[in-house]
Amino acid sequence: MNDIQVHSLPQSSLWQLLCRRRAAKCAFWMLSFIVAIALLGPLFSPHLPTEIQLAYKNRPPSGEFWFGTDELGRDLFVRVCWGARISLFLGIAASILDAAAGVLWAAVAAYFGGKIETCLMKICDILHSIPYLLLVMLLTVVHGPGLATLLIAMTITSWIHMARIVRSHMLQLKQQEYILAAKALGASSFRVMFCYLIPNSLGPIMTTMTLSIPGAIFTEAFLSFLGLGIQAPSASWGVMVSEGIRAISFYPWRLFFPAAFIGATTLAFHLLGHALRSK
């Protein structure tokens, strides 16, 4: 068994990909800037994200308030920075949970095949048919709105997409000679799945994870906009958009900055994901 090597598909390094593709390089620097804003941005302002200062309400962008203030005088720059932390955490956490559940599900289905595969994929079809918004509303009623409820709602069915993509890739790998040789030499099911199938599926796994992060970020913003996600006065991009859209006629900066960060983040992850998929 020790003579059988894992034959990973030839893949260039991430840095080589960034140097070769201008869109991927642009996405990398955009994401680096957003992460820097999320981590270091609040250090450049003396204000807290929930600090109410009615004397400074609805101030336009200035040297003191870079992104202006809202109707309660809160610094929008600091709130955007904290919103970036929430959105990036939810996006990355949701993609990791999706990958863990989806890859394991796909590995079991692809390896055993037959009735087990049919049963597992039918369960995916049933879960996928559940209306997503209805599921979120039910979880909100049962557990109350919040970060944990939002994360559960986003991952309870979103792993199905990962499972379908990885399963189709593993079905091709299953016919490779080194997989057949491992089985012939008596490798256990666990060893074949975790030492051969999953490591050789890292390409589609990473690509799908990268493309799932912007979906989770947009979902958080959308649900928070509807009042089903992060609740005010927490600094979430969705909450800020919901508050800003009511004042767009007189104070457009309140909507522009959180919406711009949502758009830039989702665009950057999509560009990076498509670059990984097409390399």
Asked, for residue 18, whether it belongs to a domain, the answer is no
Total number of domains constituting the chain: 1
In a domain, 175, yes or no: yes
4 within some domain? no
Rounded CA separation 170/1 (Å): 21
Alpha-helical runs (H) found in the chain: 14-20, 22-40, 76-112, 114-128, 132-143, 147-173, 177-184, 189-192, 202-226, 237-245, 253-278
Q: Are the beta carbons of 261 and 38 closer than 8 angstroms?
A: no
CATH number, residue 251: 1.10.3720.10
pLDDT band at 2 (very low <50, low <70, confident <90, very high): very low
Residue with tokens 């912007």: 214
> pLDDT tens digits for 80-91?
999 899 888 988
What is the spatial distance between Cα 86 and Cα 146, in angstroms, rounded to a whole number? 11
Q: Would residue 68 count as lying in a domain?
A: yes
Residue 16 belongs to a domain: no
Confidence at residue 1, expressed as pLDDT on a 0 to 100 scale: 41
Residue 3 has pLDDT above 70, yes or no: no
Verify cis geometry, omega within 30 degrees of 0, for the bond prior to 233.
yes
The answer to whether position 14 is within a domain reads no
Retrieve residue 41's tokens. Answer: 């941005």
Confidence (pLDDT) at 19: 62
Give the pLDDT of residue 15.
Answer: 58
pLDDT in tens, 41-66: 888 888 888 888 888 888 999 888 89
- In tens, the pLDDT along 239-275 reads 888 888 888 888 999 999 999 999 899 888 888 877 7
* Residue 38: inside a domain: yes
Share of the chain above pLDDT 90, in %: 20
Inside any domain, residue 264: yes
For residues 210-249, one letter each, b for 16 or more C-beta atoms within 10 angstroms of the residue's C-beta and e for the rest, the string is: bbbbbbbbbbbbbbbbeebbbeeebbbbbbbbbbbeeeee
- The span from the first CA to the last CA of the chain, in angstroms, equals 32
Q: What is the pLDDT of residues 106-129, one digit of tens each?
A: 999 998 888 998 999 999 988 888
What does the CA dihedral 150, 156, 158, 162 come to, rounded to 10 degrees?
130
Residue with tokens 């890859």: 103
By the 10 Å C-beta count (0-12 exposed, 13-18 middle, 19+ buried), 104 is classed as middle
| 277 class by beta-carbon count within 10 Å (0-12 exposed, 13-18 middle, 19+ buried) | middle
Residues of the domain holding 249: 24-278
How do residues 62-79 score in pLDDT, each as one tens digit? 888 899 998 888 999 999
